[in-house]
Amino acid sequence: MTAIPASRPAALVPAKLLRLALLADAAASGAMGLLLLAGGAALSGPFGLPAALLQGAGAALLPWAALVFWMSRRPSLPGWGVWAIIGLNLAWVVESVLLLLSGWVSPTGLGIAFVLAQAAAVDAFATAQWLGLRRSV
């Protein structure tokens, strides 16, 4: 019986666009994380969203920002890792829209605009990351 050698996933050299898209995602996620964690209680009223939801999202964004920043600085990246970032970003977009449609929260007009604006920004990061991935070797 012949053993099948274990293969490592191919690493790719990130194109400049991919590196910039990851870095922008990390910076925006970190800034949003700090804003929501520190200001979630104050934003709750104007947005019509629970403070715990805003602060929880902020707490989740900080390690995410650190991971994406770390990935943006690596000389080579595993393709699966970039696909995971893109997929998780798209999941965030879908979950943001589902939050508004769920009836679980009653956001104000400002809250709806906030949720949709951050979802659009995350979608733009995912799109730029996908385009950068296509340009990477």
Q: In order along the chain (137 residues), what is the average pLDDT of each group of 10 residues?
A: 55 94 98 98 98 98 98 94 97 97 96 98 98 93
Q: Within 10 A of 96 (CB to CB), how many other CB atoms are there?
A: 19
Q: Residue 3's pLDDT is what?
A: 55
Give pLDDT tens digits for 43-65.
999 999 999 999 999 999 999 99
Quote the DSSP letter at residue 50. Answer: -
- At residue 42, the pLDDT reads 98
Interior CA angle at 70 toward 67 and 76, to 5°? 120
Task: State how far the Cα of 57 lies from the Cα of 51, in Å rounded to an integer.
Answer: 10
- The per-residue pLDDT for 1 is 54
Residue 83: what pLDDT? 96
Alpha-helical runs (H) found in the chain: 16-47, 51-73, 79-102, 109-135
- Rounded Cα distance between 132 and 103, Å, is 36
- pLDDT for the residue numbered 137: 81
How many angstroms separate the CA atoms of 120 and 92, rounded? 10
Whole-angstrom distance, CA of residue 60 vs CA of residue 47: 19
